[in-house]
Amino acid sequence: MKFNITQPQQEIHGELVNKINNKTKPLGALGMLEALALKIGLIQQTLTPEFLQPTMLVFAGDHGIVEAGVSPYPQAVTAQMVSNFLQGGAAINVFTKQNNMCLLVIDSGVNHDFLPNAYLIDVKIAPGTRNFLLEPAMALFQCEQALKRGAEIAKAQIAEGCNIFGFGEMGIGNTSSASCLMSVLCDLPIEQCVGRGTGLDDAGLAHKTKILAQAIKLHHLDGADAMQVLTTFGGFEIAMMVGAMLQAAEKKCTLLIDGFITTAALLVAAKLQPEILHYCIFSHSSNESGHQKMLDFLQAKPLLNIGLRLGEGTGAALAYPLVLAAVNFLNNMASFESASVSQATDSQASAS
């Protein structure tokens, strides 16, 4: 699929800055919320932005690399956790419900057949990827199919009125996939990209690092070809997320980026369409080793750093109230003029 993502037009930049600066507060006193308000106003091309039908998309898929012993959990946990999402029992259910976000779970490639459910979108490519220690994780046509299906999911939600998406994932073994994507696309040693995932001990971490180093050496890829890298190391849930992100950005939506795996998907998307970053808000810095390095590579400033490493989109859901606060202060906070509050003089403001 081809996407056409352009940088938001800048004509109202000055008006937005003026509106933010004339709220009843010292200049810059709301910190990152001011930068958020400016970014969202530019994305929506309005001085009065609003969020409509906030939707969390959680993509799930299984990974063949699990056969190499890179996770302490069996592959069956992917399907078990998806069932937990559908029954309303996971952390992401709690946080999206708290923040009035719609939650949709996408079966991108789980090794299980689920019963129909109102919150499940079944667009399974295959029952899990292949073991990329031995061969590419997927065929190119499967990767392209995953991108297309992800884009179609985002497009359908946009047609129903959604203009802000959170992105999350579930897939035992997907930190291995994300680590390899990061290593190749950021040109970093795999040792700087691998973390403990779902809780590996020191021996498990050493084994995981060794396996992923062997896989990268086997395929010997150039990070300039993001589609080939995604096809070789990606998961179906990661590839589908890439497609959804690209479609959402093309349609001028706001993207809430979660943790390590979601950021790896964005890394691929940004290699394909660099302008996507203008539409992204980075929710948090994960405790998963390597995530902050990936954020640094993308020159991203996360909103939170509270030790999260769960995935599921939980960081994006927890950051949403801050993003909503940025919109609300821009729309509802009084100006100096409307509140009859005196402003600092230029000399006083510059001295402070």
Q: Are 252 and 43 in contact (CB under 8 A)?
A: yes
Catalytically annotated residues = 312
CA gap 13, 263 in Å, rounded: 27
To the nearest 5 percent, what fractions of the chain are helix, strand and coil? 50, 10, 40
Cα four-point dihedral sign 242, 245, 249, 255? negative
Rounded to 10 degrees, the C-alpha dihedral 58/61/65/69 comes to 70
Separation in Å, CA 342 to CA 16, 22, 69, 337, 338: 21, 11, 65, 8, 11
Q: Are 239 and 262 in contact (CB under 8 A)?
A: no
Residue whose structure tokens are 């958020």:
36
Closest-CA residue to 320 (of 95, 112, 139): 95
CA gap 290, 308 in Å, rounded: 13
Beta carbons within 8 Å of 127's beta carbon, 6+ residues apart? 62, 109, 110, 111, 112
Q: Are 28 and 338 in contact (CB under 8 A)?
A: no
Residue type, 77: V
CA gap 69, 142 in Å, rounded: 25
**DSSP category for residue 127:** S
